[in-house]
Structure 1
């Protein structure tokens, strides 16, 4: 890494970089869902609606978002929904699946597999053995291969042993009965052997079919980690070591090795911290896109992209915008920072509130326009975030 005098990247420039790299400024918007996914590296997929709303906010023409995404996910398979960093479900460009699997999935998968085997044997008093699980697993995967896509219920028709139950956490306060199918499919997901397919309902549904994962090469872990970190720094740099460790879920030694491998350049940040950028991203952007407004969904990859968020999310706004587990709800943005939140009423109307009014009338007009854009795009579909926050619940119930 460069040891010369460090360039300073202040908060104002970080917000400009965010606007352009994350395709939020009007001039930076994308044409297709794949363009958005490649720019952001990963679309947060824990709440299925987040993927659609997040892409819609970044497309030049938000009209075809749903069919465009469904084409990419379920027909062309250019996007894939799979487990990634921090054991979280994301939507990635398919060509990036091997990198994600090797850089983050292998370590998570090993722990998930070991945990399942331990819980299965102890929770069934030895009735369900590792050898038994191997047979059931092979049978379930063969059935899924034959069907192409299937729900867990459909798979249990082909392999009834998936319905077997065992006791999780026996003797603990959280003791509960679990079904083999639910744990096994989750493990196969983090192992990169199955992926979530088309949902049972609409694009807001959380009930998915499963499908065999697309084949991909097995990459060396260090190579994959360097590739992942490089792509993410291109999208989100400058980022601190803490940001990188949090987002990837890696050990700090892995983060530092990957930073060295991509020859990341350290820069100073407002407040005295050190951030890192890719060598070709040291210089300031050519143009400032000017003020812009956006309404982003809960768990959006921009809002959840960094661990250290003061530069775009003032601490005093967080109690209203986050739930008790640290999940962010729907947010209103103005000029590269969060200034409020939004929700939908029962009739589908989009309502919002500014918690920071420093943008004045210009911000209000721009946010009003974005709310109208979102309302037209949703076309009456109501989206309730999976993780609800104080402001979102208040707006949804009162509409003011």
Structure 2
């Protein structure tokens, strides 16, 4: 069936919006503009902005093993509601995708219940313990999009170096949650001013940045492609910037919450404000903005990390790290940065789709003839308050509940089929 999405606003390469239509055939973009083929199914765009479906390279779907927090079905539906059509799922599940058998299990679950494209990570070590190395060649052959032990930093330099060398042989990206365990000090939020006011143990920024500094040198020695998860501090930005200047093949991501919030925004000992890495100081947040604009940081990723209300109802000390992000990422960033003139719409779309896909050499995140018809229609004028109780995700753990934001996805199309549509 041929489909035509008519009356949509599309960004040009120059960043201007033009009214056009898109024709879809066999799940791919057949043409942009031109005549409407006879007999085509018409999807009315109502003058809304059409973007490539967003690509999120850092997500947690919890299944298998932690289905009380999220499932592949609920997580992928939540992502679709937020405009994402390709997401990469981190390996901190149970079992961990550290063997062919476990990877095939997860692939089967994805095929059974995902409504969008879910690409699983393979773990770097068995049971993400940081000790016994996994077989990168076998896991790649069974669908691993990249390799990470996200959730924990790999403590042994030799383990990281050996896996980087192995990954380089197979042209795979090593993706790292950077955290030196000896510098965590049982902290639950940033070590700065606010943690002292709240009487809570802090995590120093150096916990993250020293491991990034180590890893970029290991990546250089190994000839590896290396990607840094959720950069949060000015020291980390400096380490990535210096590595890029030295010609090391490093890329980096930043999360919406680290761009939008800082430590002094935390109102109380509320675990919905607890994430890892934590919200840093105001000058760290400023450094992240500058790093996005100058290309030091390559893309935006949500680090969508759902937990149950019961797990998050106590104070920070007893609660797990993490907040949800799929359903709020674009509206929050559009409202706070595009509407205020700090970014262009094209920059935001590039950071959430094009650049993210390029890191892993994925053929997604763009609107071009022959590409998969992965698209999101966004009402840039729609304004509403964030309501956590209305999330599709099982997780309600967000610090943004009640925030008013503008620019909401109203329809998401994956491989030519509507997978999310706003209720009339």
TM-score by length of 1: 0.29
Greater strand percent: which structure? 2
Structure exhibiting the larger radius of gyration computed from Cα positions: 1
Greater helix percent: which structure? 1
